[in-house]
A and B are shown apart, each in its own frame.
Chain A
Amino acid sequence: KNQVEQSPQSLIILEGKNCTLQCNYTVSPFSNLRWYKQDTGRGPVSLTIMTFSENTKSNGRYTATLDADTKQSSLHITASQLSDSASYICVVGPGRDSGYALNFGKGTSLLVTP
């Protein structure tokens, strides 16, 4: 069973609107949580990295939040642009004791329309 679940699977929004993507994980313990953006036909690009002690981190119009108690993270995109159309992938990195495995969610496919 995948230890990182993302929702929704896909999303269509109008240009200029805000949206929030969700990531629920069961990985424990974990060291950090990352959000990546992957444009079609290209490799993922890191948006944010948060440790378990951080609650929020911003990167321009992207703001990631983390609730380590409920094991939930969200990625909020404000004033969406056409270029935000991409797949957004949540990645949870385990702690030392769990051995190595960056756990990847299957991504949320976002389409921003004019």
Chain B
Amino acid sequence: KAGVTQTPRYLIKTRGQQVTLSCSPISGHRSVSWYQQTPGQGLQFLFEYFSETQRNKGNFPGRFSGRQFSNSRSEMNVSTLELGDSALYLCASSLFYPQGSRYQETQYFGPGTRLLVL
């Protein structure tokens, strides 16, 4: 079974531009979560989608948005890029949403998209 794929792997943008990142989960997985990883802050949760609905959202500004399609593929968009948005953006998929005491779903991470904002 193919793993989680993310495109593009590397991206260079300038301040003020917008960017769209794509994530294809493992076949059959319905939950997709997005994370931002920086050396100083570690992994930070952006949002999670399950069956095309955003179920949860982290503490990021409205410039960060996402969506999920009927085939579970997900996109993340960042508008009006800032220098501080330079980071590794990771996507993770699981069969069901990874929260709650009843579930011990393993999240499978993609390789990430490294975004550099100049």
Using a CB–CB distance below 8 Å, which chain A residues touch chain B? 31-32, 36, 41-46, 49, 51, 89, 93-96, 99-102, 104-107
Contacts and interface: CB of A to CB of B under 8 A. Distances in A.
Contact of B44 (A44, A46, A89, A104): A104
B109 A43 contact: yes
B74 to A, nearest CB: 15
Given A44-B43, A44-B90, 4 more contacts: A32-B104, A36-B109, A41-B111, A104-B43
B100 to A, nearest CB: 5
Nearest to A107: B42
A44 B37 CA distance: 11
Contacts, number: 59
A96 B101 contact: yes
A43 B90 contact: yes
Contact of B112 (A43, A99, A106): A43
A12 B76 CA distance: 37
A106 B42 contact: yes
A100 B109 contact: no
